[in-house]
């Protein structure tokens, strides 16, 4: 498609049908931007066996986004990204689970859909920015000449963890109008504007697994049946039978159905042997991880050891660690205190105060305490 001339004060709003993106659209208009709205259709429920569920990309969400766009008097359309989503998000989700990891498809959706495919769509329309309802802040640091990603004012809603993959080019063409507001302020503004979705609940689960049963989704989508296998204790002794290794995540306690006299937790998985290792909670702790596919934001790259704080889970409190470079895309993190249930496939994000230094994907946990 031929690229149009980019108009600097213009934006394509990613309208999910929720309250946050709707208010983001309003705020951009108030700042004088020429705006267009669009909803990304990422999948069709029938294609992934979800006819009985109301998920994002549902017709109701499209209707809500369309009604808000009409109220704001901005052009609106639905962009069909289903082939990209199937390949980049669902495909990776399946591969990571089947290899024994625990994926984070929301981060991958940001990486490949919202800030890549959607940004390209904006540029094809001659629009300078993409705008979403994320709670985070972007500023330009003149001293370093770099765009910085910072936490939101509302710490309880901060989403910088799932945005660590943004490149300098993407940050330069993205705006987060809600980063300086609280969720309560956003809802109150939507109420005053009489938006149809002002009281709509926030989505919580992975959008294409709304019931949270990842294994059932994998079996339904792939047509595979994941076979039963052995639970092993720490010395390799068989202590029970599991219902398929993909059904278990590191740190899991519930649903094991093992009578061991003391609580046990999932400590590891061997997908080739189809075994799941269990042990006491103490076995979940480690102080070192290797992260790969690093994206650096506040610095061009890591050239030496750096003291930072890090999160290995979305809701975790940041923990002090030292980051050691291995190569441009890989780091070793050594935490001051052992961390519980660090999991291959999850993101680790590094912070310097309220600024995101960078982040990557946990590749391995080399030792346990």
Q: Which of 88, 81, 70 is nearest to 39 (CA)?
A: 81
How close are the terminal C-alpha atoms of the chain, in Å?
Answer: 55
How confident is the model over 67-71, as a mean pLDDT?
98
- 324: pLDDT strictly greater than 70: yes
Mean pLDDT of 297-302: 97
Report the pLDDT value the prediction gives residue 369, as an integer from 0 to 100.
Answer: 45
Domain boundaries of the chain, sorted by first residue: 7-192, 226-279, 284-364
**pLDDT over threshold 80, residue 244:** yes
- Residue 367 confidence (pLDDT) above 90: no
Say which residue, 179 or 52, is predicted with more confidence: 179
Q: Record the pTM.
A: 0.93
pLDDT-based confidence at residue 158 (cuts at 50, 70, 90): very high
- The predicted model gives 277-305 an average pLDDT of 97
**Which is the catalytic residue, given 57, 207, 267, 364?**
207
What homologous superfamily does CATH list for 284-364? Translation factors (2.40.30.10)
**Concatenated DSSP letters of 23-89:** HHHHHHHHTT-EEEEEEEE---GGGGT-TT---TT-HHHHHHHHHHHHHHT--EEEEE-HHHHIIII
pLDDT of residue 7: 80
> Which pLDDT score, from 0 to 100, does residue 17 have?
95
Q: Please state the rounded mean pLDDT for residues 72-79.
A: 98
Greater model confidence, 8 or 109: 109
The CATH topology of domain 7-192 is: Rossmann fold (3.40.50)
Contact indicator for 69, 15 with CB cutoff of 8 Å: yes
Q: How confident is the model at residue 368 (pLDDT cuts 50, 70, 90)?
A: low
Quick one: tokens of 232?
């092993």
What is the rounded distance in angstroms from the CA atom of residue 285 to the CA atom of residue 340?
5
**Ramachandran region, residue 49 (left: φ > 0; alpha: ψ -120 to 50; beta: rest):** left
- Condensed to tens digits (0 to 9), the pLDDT of residues 331-364 reads 999 999 999 999 999 999 999 999 999 999 999 9
Give the Cα separation of 108 and 369 in Å (integer).
31
How far apart, in whole angstroms, are the C-alpha atoms of residue 134 and residue 122?
18
Which is higher by pLDDT, 66 or 1? Answer: 66
Q: Is 57 in the active site?
A: no
pLDDT the model gives residue 51: 56
Average pLDDT over residues 246-254: 95
pLDDT value at residue 155: 95
- Residue 267 appears among annotated catalytic residues: no
Q: Which two tokens stand for residue 89?
A: 């998000």
- Provide the pLDDT confidence category of residue 57 given band limits of 50, 70 and 90: low
Token pair for 123: 């540029």
The chain-wide mean pLDDT, for the chain, equals 94
Q: Do domains 7-192 and 226-279 have the same CATH topology?
A: no
Domain 226-279: CATH superfamily, name plus number:
Adenine nucleotide alpha hydrolases-like domains (2.30.30.280)
What are the distances in angstroms from CA 85 to CA 41, 81, 90, 216, 302?
A: 9, 6, 6, 19, 32
Residue of 35, 56, 106, 109 marked active site: 109
**Distance between CA atoms of residues 256 and 240, nearest Å:** 9
Q: Out of 184-188, 206-210, 260-264, which region has the weakest mean confidence (pLDDT)?
A: 206-210
Percent of the chain with pLDDT over 70: 94
Say what the pLDDT of residue 346 is: 97
Other Cβ atoms less than 10 A from the Cβ of 114: the count is 21
Q: Quote the CA–CA distance of 62 and 18 in Å, as a whole number.
A: 10
Q: For position 55, what pLDDT does the model report? A: 55
Distance CA(199)–CA(314), nearest Å, equals: 25
């Amino acid at each position: 498609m031929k690229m149009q001339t980019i108009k600097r004060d213009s934006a394509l709003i990613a309208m999910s049908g929720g309250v946050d993106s709707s208010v983001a659209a309003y705020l951009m208009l108030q700042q004088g931007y020429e705006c267009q709205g669009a909803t990304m259709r990422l999948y069709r429920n029938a294609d992934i066996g979800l006819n009985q569920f109301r998920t994002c990309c549902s017709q109701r969400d499209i209707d809500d986004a369309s009604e808000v766009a009409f109220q704001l008097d901005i052009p609106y359309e639905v962009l069909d990204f289903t082939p990209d989503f199937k390949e980049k998000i669902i495909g990776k989700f399946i591969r990571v689970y089947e290899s024994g990891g625990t994926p984070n498809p929301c981060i991958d959706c940001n990486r490949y859909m919202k800030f890549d495919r959607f940004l390209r769509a904006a540029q094809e329309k001659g629009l300078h920015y993409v705008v979403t309802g994320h709670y985070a802040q972007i500023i330009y640091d003149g001293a370093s000449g770099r765009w910085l990603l910072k936490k939101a004012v509302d710490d309880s809603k901060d989403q910088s963890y799932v945005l660590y993959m943004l490149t300098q080019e993407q940050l330069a063409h993205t705006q987060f109008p809600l980063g300086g507001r609280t969720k309560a302020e956003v809802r109150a503004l939507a109420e005053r504007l009489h938006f149809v979705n002002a009281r709509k609940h926030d989505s919580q689960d992975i959008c294409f697994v709304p019931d949270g049963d990842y294994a059932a989704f994998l079996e339904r989508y792939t047509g595979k049946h994941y076979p039963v296998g052995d639970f092993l204790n720490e010395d390799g002794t068989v202590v029970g039978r599991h219902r398929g290794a993909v059904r278990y995540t590191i740190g899991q306690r519930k649903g094991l159905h093992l009578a061991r006299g003391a609580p046990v937790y999932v400590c590891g998985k061997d997908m080739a042997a189809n075994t799941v290792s269990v042990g006491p909670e103490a076995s979940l702790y480690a102080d070192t991880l290797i992260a790969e596919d690093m994206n650096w934001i506040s610095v061009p790259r890591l050239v030496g050891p750096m003291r930072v704080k890090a999160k290995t889970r979305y809701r975790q409190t940041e923990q002090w660690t030292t980051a050691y470079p291995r190569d441009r895309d890989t780091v070793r993190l050594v935490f001051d205190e052992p961390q519980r249930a660090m999991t291959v496939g999850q993101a680790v994000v590094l912070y310097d105060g309220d600024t995101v230094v960078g982040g990557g994907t946990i590749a391995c946990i080399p030792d346990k305490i």
